[in-house]
Structure 1
Amino acid sequence: MASLAVLLATRPSTTVSSNVSQDLGDGASNAVAYLERGKVRSAADNFKDALADFNRAIELQPTAESYNERGQVRSKLQDRQGALADFGEALKLKPNWAEAYYQRSSVWEELGNTQQALADLNESIGLQGDNTLAWIARGYLRIKQGNKAQAMQDFNAAIKMDARSSYAYMSRAGLYASMNQREQAISDYDRAIVLDPSSYYQFYERGILHQELNNQAKAKADFEMTLQLAKKAGKEKEYADAAVRLQQLP
């Protein structure tokens, strides 16, 4: 199953003028400009320059948002202790901010501190109960703790909350599969694929289930689709795995 880190929500796109100079100025009002440019650079995976912008924004005018944004970038740059410190500062400035708890939970999980990650997700959900990804993330943590029953409750809650979340259906499908409930897993993958037909992973996992149930024609179709989508996404390992599976079919 996917790690908690991959569940983090993507931030809304933010635009700034393309002719903004490198030095945006030293006034406190310029902190917002650095913050916004940092968001744009982060969204474009330009984490080094995004970090420089968030550093400048915090120097000029530290805010909960600027610490939260820098924490996310530090996490992506594998500076997990720096990320924890930033999320901590964000929560000092804004103690009841569900987003900061949610983001910090991923760092705790990456550090292997499942209990602290779960505590942060509980805080996040308690403060903002409509974040579907937080419920899914908590479900994955509960699976790690061996509590599949509560994980199922979290995935069910996420689906009830957002019936168009392909990730929620995919997550529950994986849990069903781990419990050898293959038909239920296939049903969830069916729904996930309808909602997001571009995901190679869902076709691949459904193909494995069809293969285990001796639905060879359906398995072949799923692995062939996996090859197309994995190649398009540049996922060489996944492409190779699907190719091997396909060769094994009669």
Structure 2
Amino acid sequence: MRYPVTGLRTFRAGSLAAAILAVGLAGCQVDSVSGPTASELDPYTGSKENIASLSAVLEANPRDPHAYNMRGTAFGKANKSEQAIQDFTRAVELDPSYYQAYANRALVYRNMGRMDLALADYNRALSINPNYDSAYVARGNIYRQHNQPGLALNDYNNAIRLNPSDPRAYHNRALIYQARNQHNKAVDDFSRAIGLDPKAPAPYNGRGVSYLAQGNAKAALEDFNWSLEYDRKTASAWANRGVALEELGHKNEAIGSYNRAIALEATNKTAREGLGRLGATYSRTRT
């Protein structure tokens, strides 16, 4: 069954996949990656015990910028943003060339929605160390999310040139290509990201969207399944999985996936429109 759609001239006219991709790409059904890779996450970092230990270090060494940077990182992990900013600020006061502390403060500012301050800190970090690849990835994400894809692409290219083993740079560059309907390039970059961090769910979800755009619903479904294998709480992956199943003619399974998406995110447009096309209504399912 086909449905009329406008707005995506690069896809075949009336394609269901085109209809969903129009919603998906505009409605953030793919996910950016800016933090550490899955293998780098350490839940102890933001624990009360770690913060207390670092505070004891600072009591003994009150002019140690590295200790302030470490405790600031712990505060950031614990979602104590103001304390984190205070520590990173103290770190750069003690050592104005401490580019990692500028970048860490930028991340906290970004999480707080203070993008102008975040961008200024990333710029400062890169002026001190033009080879700081992680800062290029992070700054590129700010540019991309604020409709400056050319600047973002340049930053991701620099990050990859400096560190070809960072999956985040490939993933986020793929999102630029995907938004430009350059899906072959997007698939290549998502695949590189997956090869470097096979347990990260977001690149599978992103690659699946590009496979849908290429008319390969079977490969897309496989990727959405892998994404959900590593994170079953991502509404966009369930919604996108529903699209692939619908495209393949598996109506009941598609309805189930759309329901799972809505259970996680009540306003998920892709899932709600999918249920509407299939003549179904939301029925709560166990997530």
The normalised TM-score by structure 1 is: 0.77
| Distance in 2 of aligned mates of 1:126 and 1:158 | 15
Q: Deviations over 1:141-177 (max 9, x none)?
A: 1123321111110011111112222211111001111
Map 1:54-69 → 2, pairs under 5 A: 54-62=54-62, 63-69=64-70
Paired residue type of 2:221: K
Paired residue type of 1:221: E
Paired residue type of 1:55: S
Is 1:52 equivalent to 2:42 in the alignment? no
Q: Deviations over 1:85-118 (max 9, x none)?
A: 1111111111110110010001111222211111
Shift of 1:61: 1.6
- Matched with 1:38 is none
| Larger helix proportion of the pair | 1
Structure 1: stretches of 5+ with no match in the other structure: 14-41
| Distance in 1 of aligned mates of 2:38 and 2:133 | 10
| Distance in 1 of aligned mates of 2:105 and 2:89 | 8
- RMSD after superposition: 2.6
Counterpart contact for 2:72–2:83, Cα < 8 Å: yes
Counterpart contact for 2:33–2:168, Cα < 8 Å: no
Is 1:248 equivalent to 2:249 in the alignment? no
Counterpart contact for 2:177–2:185, Cα < 8 Å: yes
Is 1:116 equivalent to 2:146 in the alignment? no
Greater RCO, CA 8 A, separation 6+: 2
- Matched with 1:20 is none
The change in CA–CA distance for 1:71 and 1:8 in structure 2 (over 3 A counts) is: farther
Map 1:110-189 → 2, pairs under 5 A: 110-189=111-190
Counterpart contact for 1:224–1:246, Cα < 8 Å: no
Counterpart contact for 2:38–2:199, Cα < 8 Å: no
Shift of 1:55: 1.7
Structure 2: stretches of 5+ with no match in the other structure: 1-30, 249-287
| Distance in 2 of aligned mates of 1:10 and 1:117 | 25
- Matched with 2:93 is 92
| Distance in 1 of aligned mates of 2:58 and 2:211 | 53
Q: Deviations over 1:180-229 (max 9, x none)?
A: 22222112112222223222221111111111221122212222322333
The change in CA–CA distance for 1:61 and 1:126 in structure 2 (over 3 A counts) is: same
Counterpart contact for 1:230–1:238, Cα < 8 Å: no
Shift of 1:77: 2.0
